[in-house]
Structure 1
Amino acid sequence: MLKTINLKKDIKNNKNTFKILKDINLDVKEGEFLSIMGPSGAGKTTLLNILSTVDKPTSGNVYYENKDISKMNNKELSKFRRDNIGFIFQDYNLLDSMSVEDNIALPLVIGNEKQSRIKEEVMRLAKFFGIEAHLKKYPYELSGGQKQRASAARALITSPKIIFADEPTGALDSKSSSELLNCLKDMNEKFNVTVIMVTHDPFSASYSKKVIFMKDGKLNARIDSSGNRKEFYNSIMNLLTSMGGEVNELL
């Protein structure tokens, strides 16, 4: 579904060139729930930004269903994002001047969908995320967990094939984190939406089906879940502990 070939990202600062991503080769299949982990500066968010078309690589290719999206122009990218991608951000990105209902509906309103379909989809997703009682409220009246679930509903309302989540539990308490992660897991399984999540948190990563670890701009290791989340969490913790040494299991 999503594939990168020899992906590189360099950033130039005066006369210096910093290599952020180094020959990333990654293959994400439809319906996967993938977490990307690694220490600060490993290149996690840069990789997510390139996969989600927010940024472009210095060299290499990003293929989505055999189309090279890294070569698309801005107009083509805009259409591609609208038709295929949803985003969940750490800081919610909700508009405080609009009700929760209107925030969730916004992508369909921009797409000139019929009001009847918009209302139907908003209610369906509000029920799925457990926020139907809060639709008439404004984001500043919600808890962090409720805001993030509203953000997730907005991300899903266009029926995207891929959801990109950048540290979605970073600003949440443990209860709200668990609620959101269970929603992401259900979303992945019930709607067959591919989820790619950047996280520093092993607990969050344990909800996914696969975890890849980055180190110094490279893919360094991978663990696949057997379906037992507790065992998967322990495996993630063990590998994170060993990341101080050389880890190259996998790829």
Structure 2
Amino acid sequence: MLKVVNLKKEFKTNKSIFKILDNIDLEVKKGEFISIMGPSGAGKTTLLNILSTVDKPTCGKVYYNNKNIQEMNNKQISKFRRENIGFIFQDYNLLDSMTVEDNIALPLVISKEKQDKVRAEVLRLSKFFGIEGHLSKYPYELSGGQKQRAAAARALITEPKIIFADEPTGALDSKASSELLNCLKEMNEKFNVTVIMVTHDAFSASYSKKVIFMKDGKLNARIDSSGNRKEFFNNIMNLLTSMGGEVNELS
């Protein structure tokens, strides 16, 4: 589904070249749920931005279903992004001047979908994420967990093939984090949506099927889940410890 080849990202100054990503090769199959972990400055968010077509690499290729994204112009990339990609951000990116219902519906409204379909999709996803009772409220009236589930519903409403989540639990407490992560896991399994999540947290990463570790702009290690989340968490924690990373206890 998604493949990157010899991906590099560099920033140049008058005196130096800073390598952010260094010769990244990666394949992502349809239906995978992958977490990307690593210390600050490892290149996690830069990689996510390039994979999601928000940023461009210095060199290398990004393929979606064997199509080279670098060969598309800006208009084609924007269309591709609207039709194939959903985003979940740490700070929600909800519009406070709009109700929760209108925030979730926004991508379909922009695409000029019929009102009946928009309403039906909002109701379906709000029930899935457990926020159907909050549709008439405004984001500032919601808890952080409710906001993030509204953002997740908005990301899913266009039926994207892949969801990119950048530290989606970073501003949530443990209960709200668990609720969102369970929704992401179920979303991945029920709708077969590919999920790529950047996180610093072993607890969050344990909900995924695979964890990729980055260090100094390179892919450093990989762990696959056997289906036992607690065992997976312990494996993640052990590797993070050996790499000098910080970990949290799994409850």
TM-score by length of 1: 0.97
Counterpart of 2:223, as a letter, is I
Whole-angstrom distance in 2 between the partners of 1:73 and 1:224:
36
Q: Is the Cα–Cα contact under 8 Å of residues 34 and 208 in structure 1 kept in the other structure?
A: yes
| 2:74 aligned partner | 74
Q: Is the Cα–Cα contact under 8 Å of residues 209 and 224 in structure 1 kept in the other structure?
A: yes
- Secondary structure of 1:98's counterpart equals coil
Counterpart of 2:99, as a letter, is S
Runs of 4+ in 1 over 2 A off after TM superposition: none
Whole-angstrom distance in 2 between the partners of 1:70 and 1:100:
35
Q: Following TM superposition, by how much is the alpha carbon of 1:14 offset from its aligned partner in structure 2, in angstroms?
A: 3.4
Whether 2:220 is the aligned partner of 1:199: answer: no
| 1:182 aligned partner | 182
| 2:50 aligned partner | 50
Whole-angstrom distance in 2 between the partners of 1:71 and 1:134:
43
Whether 2:35 is the aligned partner of 1:32: answer: no
Whole-angstrom distance in 2 between the partners of 1:123 and 1:203:
30
| 1:173 aligned partner | 173
What does residue range 124-163 of structure 1 map to in structure 2 within 5 Å? 124-163=124-163
Q: Following TM superposition, by how much is the alpha carbon of 1:22 offset from its aligned partner in structure 2, in angstroms?
A: 0.3
Counterpart of 2:196, as a letter, is I
Q: Following TM superposition, by how much is the alpha carbon of 1:70 offset from its aligned partner in structure 2, in angstroms?
A: 2.6
Q: Is the Cα–Cα contact under 8 Å of residues 57 and 70 in structure 1 kept in the other structure?
A: no
Q: Following TM superposition, by how much is the alpha carbon of 1:13 offset from its aligned partner in structure 2, in angstroms?
A: 2.8
Which consecutive unaligned segments of at least 5 residues does structure 1 have? 246-251
- Secondary structure of 1:20's counterpart equals strand
Counterpart of 1:159, as a letter, is E
Aligned length in residues: 245
Counterpart of 2:24, as a letter, is I
Q: Following TM superposition, by how much is the alpha carbon of 1:153 offset from its aligned partner in structure 2, in angstroms?
A: 0.1
Whole-angstrom distance in 1 between the partners of 2:176 and 2:71:
39
| 2:237 aligned partner | 237
- Secondary structure of 2:187's counterpart equals helix
Whole-angstrom distance in 1 between the partners of 2:3 and 2:84:
15
- Secondary structure of 2:126's counterpart equals helix
Q: Following TM superposition, by how much is the alpha carbon of 1:78 offset from its aligned partner in structure 2, in angstroms?
A: 0.4
Whole-angstrom distance in 1 between the partners of 2:156 and 2:13:
38
Whole-angstrom distance in 2 between the partners of 1:168 and 1:90:
5
Q: Following TM superposition, by how much is the alpha carbon of 1:16 offset from its aligned partner in structure 2, in angstroms?
A: 1.9
State percent identity of aligned pairs: 83
Whether 2:63 is the aligned partner of 1:63: answer: yes
| 1:210 aligned partner | 210
Name the Cα RMSD after superposition.
Answer: 0.9
Counterpart of 1:155, as a letter, is A
Whole-angstrom distance in 1 between the partners of 2:157 and 2:201:
27
Deviations 1:167-208 (A, max 9, x none): 000000000000000000000000000000000000000000
Counterpart of 2:31, as a letter, is G
Whole-angstrom distance in 2 between the partners of 1:244 and 1:108:
44
Deviations 1:22-77 (A, max 9, x none): 00000000000000000000000000000000000000000000001133211010
Counterpart of 1:216, as a letter, is D
Whether 2:108 is the aligned partner of 1:108: answer: yes
| 1:248 aligned partner | none
Q: Is the Cα–Cα contact under 8 Å of residues 210 and 222 in structure 1 kept in the other structure?
A: yes
Whether 2:126 is the aligned partner of 1:120: answer: no
| 2:249 aligned partner | none
- Secondary structure of 2:30's counterpart equals coil
- Secondary structure of 1:235's counterpart equals helix
Counterpart of 1:78, as a letter, is S
